[in-house]
Each structure stands twice: as structure tokens, then as C-alpha cells.
């Protein structure tokens, strides 16, 4: 049953990519639309998605205390992903835009569209969504700070210029959402409903954008690029397995009060395929968006097999 849920969500992504791909190949839409689509997502729908997801969170003393260990372990997971990515780019001598995209995609996965419904289905009753939301909070913090810095860190950009790129509609949406959440501020329902629905189009527009980019590639373009396979191995298998071993050791020796649900959500979220929005960000900040698109395509395809495997390992050994 759990494996079927994983495959179902990934197939939705694949269908959306195919829509964009076929729309260009059949002449239904022009390739020129991709520039406008990128701007629409980055400056409108994605900020609304961020704001509506974060602003509805409610932080109280009990939740903060009970979630402290989980927060720390999510940062540990991020550090592990970053470390393995750094070793990989040094070992295989990545250069320029390849390095930036590889590092960013090693950190950020499809934790919203794939992760949220998957965690809710596997762990019903609200606990799965709770831990997925906390993971998303940490990931968002790093995406709009470290992630943007990584993707804009070109040879011609100064340190100050790179930092200035952190201030964009998405950063503003994230900070505004946090402000609303901490002070329990609610917008009128009609606004939240409208903004939420418009923001939810991000995943559909992003997948169609990827499909449009895919329309100029052939299967040979993917097969002859081994660095995408390296990223897939690191992100989908190596990091989740290492994280399992590390967290199980910490829980055993330091008696960390981590439930099975929290542990499972933590590991599964790290095993998600690459985040589609990184393709948009790579385009916006001058990194290799074509490589980012290949990463999303290949990791999403392979995750049909790796996510059920990671889930089986979790159920067997924890």
C-alpha cells in the first residue's frame, strides 16, 4: 500500500512533465513561453505558496519544546547532505555552474508536492504532516539563504552582490509568513483561499516548465552525463542510509526521545528526488538550469524504485 502511494505521486509529476514536453513538440505552444513562465513562477506563484504554507503554522511552547530534537536532527541531515555533496564535487572535480547546481540539489528535495501527501498517507492523524511541515520550515530557511547564495555564487559576482540576491519576492514571502505564524495573525479566509490556490499552481507550472526544457533533449543527453547519476545515488540512497545509522546511534547512546514516526519522516524527506523549483532558481540566478532540469528528471524517475526501498529498510530495521 505504501509503495503504491509513492509511485502514484511520482506518476503525477511525470504526467505534468509530459504535458509540457508534448505541448512544445506538437507545436501547441512556443518554446518562447518558458521565459515568461519562469518569471511567473519565481515572482508570483512561488512566493504565494511559501507564504500560505508557513503563515498558518501555530507555534506554542509545547510544540517548540517537543520539536526541538527534531529540528536539530533536520539540521544534522542537511549538514550530512552538504558534506557528502562537497566531498563529491571535490573528488570528481566539478566546475562552475555544475558545482552550484549539484550542491543546491543535494540539499533540497521535492518535500512539498511529493513529501506532504506521502507523509500524510503513510502516517495519518496529523503527525506525518506535523513533522513534514517542520522539515519544510528548516529547508525553506536554508533554501532562501544558503540555497540562493550557492546558485548565485558565480565567478563574476562579488560576495556582497551574492548576498543582495537573497532579497527577492520569495525571501519576503518567507519572512512575512514567519511573522504571521509567530504572532497568530490570520488573513481573511477569502484571501488565504485565493492565495493558497494560486500558490498551489507552482508545482504544475514548474513541471510544465521542465517538460518544455526537456523537449530539446534526447535520451542520450541524460545517459552520457554520469554526474547526474552520482547525484541520484547520493541523494536517493547514500544520504538516507547514512542518516539512519547516525540517528539510530544517537538515539541509542543519548536516549533522544524520537518517535518512530518522526524518525521515518526525517529519513524519507531526505530521500526525496530533487526539488523542481531549483530549476527556476538556477535560471533566475544564472546557474546551469539545464543540468538542474536533468537532475529533477532522473532523480524523480529513479525515486519510483528507491523510495519504496528506503521505506522497506525503515520498516525492517527501526
DSSP, residue by residue, the chain:
-HHHHHHHHHHHHHHHHHHHHHHHHTTSS-TTHHHHHHHHIIIIIHHHHHHHHHHT----HHHHHHHHHHHHHHHHHHHHHHHHHHHHHHHTT--HHHHHHHHHHHH-B-TTTTHHHHHHHHSTTTHHHHHHHHHHHHHHHHIIIIIHHHHT--TT--HHHHHHTT-SHHHHHHHHHHHHHHTT----HHHHHHHHHHHTHHHHHHHHHHHHHHTT--HHHHHT-HHHHHHHHIIIIIHHHHHHHHHHHHHHHH-----HHHHHHHHHHHTSPBPTHHHHHHHHTTS-HHHHHHHHHHHHHHHHHHHHHHHHHHHHH-
Q: What is the pLDDT of residues 215-231, one digit of tens each?
A: 877 666 666 667 888 99
* Residue 131: domain span: 2-312
**Euclidean distance between CA atoms 166 and 172, whole angstroms:** 9
Percent of the chain with pLDDT over 90: 31
What's the confidence (pLDDT) of residue 40? 92
pLDDT range class, residue 155, cuts 50, 70, 90 = very low
Q: Averaged over 54-81, what is the pLDDT?
A: 81
Question: Residue 12: inside a domain, yes or no?
Answer: yes
Question: Residue 318: inside a domain, yes or no?
Answer: no
Q: What is the pLDDT of residues 247-282, one digit of tens each?
A: 999 988 888 878 888 899 999 999 999 998 898 888
Question: Residue 156: inside a domain, yes or no?
Answer: yes
Question: Residue 162: inside a domain, yes or no?
Answer: yes
Question: Residue 173: inside a domain, yes or no?
Answer: yes
CB distance 171 to 298 below 8 Å: no
**Euclidean distance between CA atoms 33 and 24, whole angstroms:** 10
SS3 track for 154-177: CCCCCHHHHHHCCCCHHHHHHHHH
Question: Residue 317: inside a domain, yes or no?
Answer: no
What's the confidence (pLDDT) of residue 45? 92
Question: Residue 186: inside a domain, yes or no?
Answer: yes
Percent of the chain with pLDDT over 70: 89
What's the confidence (pLDDT) of residue 218? 67
**Euclidean distance between CA atoms 12 and 298, whole angstroms:** 15
Question: Residue 87: inside a domain, yes or no?
Answer: yes
Contacts of 35 (CB under 8 A, 6+ apart): none
Q: How many domains does the chain contain in total?
A: 1
pTM of this prediction?
0.78
Q: What is the CATH number of the domain that holds 149?
A: 1.20.1530.20
Amino acid at each position: 500500500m505504501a509503495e503504491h502511494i509513492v509511485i502514484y505521486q511520482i506518476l503525477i509529476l511525470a504526467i505534468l512533465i509530459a504535458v509540457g514536453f508534448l505541448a512544445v513538440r506538437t507545436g501547441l505552444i512556443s518554446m518562447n513561453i518558458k521565459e515568461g513562465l519562469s518569471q511567473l513562477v519565481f515572482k508570483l506563484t512561488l512566493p504565494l505558496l511559501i507564504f500560505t504554507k508557513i503563515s498558518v503554522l501555530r507555534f506554542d511552547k509545547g510544540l517548540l519544546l517537543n520539536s526541538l530534537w527534531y529540528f536539530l536532527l533536520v539540521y544534522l541531515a542537511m549538514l550530512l547532505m552538504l558534506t557528502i555533496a562537497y566531498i563529491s564535487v571535490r573528488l570528481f572535480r566539478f566546475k562552475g555552474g555544475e558545482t552550484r547546481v549539484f550542491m543546491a540539489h543535494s540539499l533540497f528535495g521535492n518535500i512539498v508536492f511529493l513529501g506532504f501527501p506521502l507523509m500524510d498517507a503513510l502516517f495519518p492523524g496529523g503527525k506525518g504532516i506535523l513533522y513534514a511541515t517542520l522539515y519544510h520550515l528548516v529547508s525553506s530557511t536554508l533554501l532562501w539563504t544558503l540555497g540562493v547564495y550557492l546558485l548565485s555564487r558565480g565567478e563574476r559576482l562579488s560576495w556582497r552582490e551574492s548576498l543582495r540576491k537573497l532579497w527577492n519576492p520569495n525571501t519576503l514571502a518567507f519572512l512575512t509568513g514567519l511573522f504571521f505564524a509567530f504572532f497568530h495573525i490570520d488573513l481573511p479566509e477569502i484571501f488565504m483561499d485565493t492565495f493558497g490556490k494560486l500558490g498551489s499552481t507552482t508545482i504544475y507550472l514548474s513541471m510544465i516548465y521542465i517538460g518544455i526544457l526537456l523537449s530539446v533533449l534526447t535520451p542520450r543527453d541524460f545517459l552520457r552525463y554520469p554526474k547526474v547519476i552520482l547525484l541520484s545515488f547520493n541523494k536517493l540512497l547514500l544520504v538516507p542510509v547514512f542518516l539512519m545509522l547516525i540517528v539510530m546511534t544517537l538515539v541509542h547512546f543519548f536516549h533522544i526521545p524520537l518517535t518512530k514516526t518522526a524518525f521515518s519522516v526525517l529519513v524519507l524527506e531526505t530521500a526525496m528526488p530533487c526539488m523542481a523549483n531549483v530549476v527556476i532558481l538556477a535560471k533566475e540566478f544564472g546557474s546551469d538550469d539545464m543540468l538542474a532540469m536533468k537532475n529533477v528528471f532522473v532523480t524523480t524517475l529513479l525515486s519510483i524504485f528507491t523510495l519504496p526501498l528506503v521505506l522497506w529498510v525503515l520498516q525492517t530495521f527501526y
